[in-house]
Structures are given as C-alpha cells and as structure tokens.
Amino acid sequence: MSRKPYHREMSKTTWFLKQSRYQHYMLHEISSIFVAIYVGVLIVGLFRLAQGPDAWAGWLAAVTSPIGVIFHIIVFIFAIIHTTSWFKAVPQAMRIQRGEEIVPGKLIIGAHYGVWAAVSVVVLLVAGVA
C-alpha cells in the first residue's frame, strides 16, 4: 500500500488575514511599532528639556502640532488596545489558586482596571496641580 501524504502550505506572510482572531492578535502585536516611536519621541523630548527653554518649546510645538496630535491619537488608540488585550490575558497567564478554587478571571481583570484608573487619576492630578 503506497502512502503519499499531502502537505498543504500555509502562507508565511498573509496567514493573519485569514481569520478574525488572527487579525485581533496582529492588531495588538503591531501596537509595539507605535510604542517604539512614542518612546523615541519621549527621548527626544528629554534631550530638548536638557537643552533649554527654546529647544523645549520647539519640541512642545511639534508635539502639539496637527501632525503631532494625530500621531498621539494613533498612539493612544494602540495604547488602549495594548492595555485591554494585556489585561484580558492576565488570568490565563497568572492562574491563582486559593484552596480548592481558582480566583475568577473577572476579579483579576477588574482589579487591574482599578489600578489602571487609580494610576491614571494620580498622574492627571499631578499634572493638574503642577
């Protein structure tokens, strides 16, 4: 009896377009591109801060320009995508057993959002009173 198993090939470059779950995965993966660019923007900002008021004003103007705002909106959207996908994954990665029960995922996720809200409020307050 001759066997001739058939191998179906998977596209190495477009596989993630084939299903919505793969598209979702790619969406939070590419958030890293925008995080990287934003990190670059922040580092430039720190250098401009070190170089004096005029340099800093230049950076601030660029960041608040129309292009700067659009860039920030995009980064913000991807930051939210990262936060929501990250928090959703935490109960899977961090399985906490208390006695005979596993701590419910919703509780863990809720706690994370609670901390996120608290941290955000603190930063906003510090920025507000500065």
Partner 1 sequence: MARSAKAVPWFVFAAGGTVIAFILPVMVFVTGLAPAIGLFGDALSYETMHAFVSNWLIKLILLGIIGLAAWHAAHRLRVCAHDFGIRADGPVSIAVYGLAGIATLLTIIALLMI
Partner 2 sequence: MSQRTMELEVMRYRPEMDDKPFFQTYSVPCEEEWVVLDALNYVKDEMDRTLSYRWSCHMFVCGSCGMVINGEPKLACKAFLRDYDGKIRIEPLHNFPIERDLVIVQDDFIEKLESVKPYIIPKQEKPLSEGEYLQTPAQLKAYKQYSMCMNCLLCYSACPQYGLEEKFVGPAALALAHRYNMDSRDVGRSAREHVVASHDGIWACSFVGACSQVCPKDVDPAGAIQQVKFSSAVDYLTSFLPGGKR
The footprint of partner 1 (CB under 8 A) covers 12-13, 16, 26, 29-33, 35-36, 38-40, 42-43, 45-47, 49-53, 56-57, 60, 63-64, 68-69, 71-73, 75-76, 79-80, 82-83, 86-87, 112, 115-116, 119-120, 123-124, 126-128, 130
Rounded CA-CA distance 34/65 in Å is 18
90 contacts: CB under 8 Å, gap ≥ 6 = 108, 109, 112
Please state the closest distance from residue 6 (CB atom) to partner 1, in A.
23
Q: Say if residues 73 and 95 touch (Cβ distance below 8 Å).
A: no
The number of residues in the chain equals: 130
> How many residues sit close enough to partner 2 to count as binding (CB under 8 A)?
27
Chosen from partner 1, partner 2, none, partner binding at 103 (C-beta under 5 to 8 Å by type): none
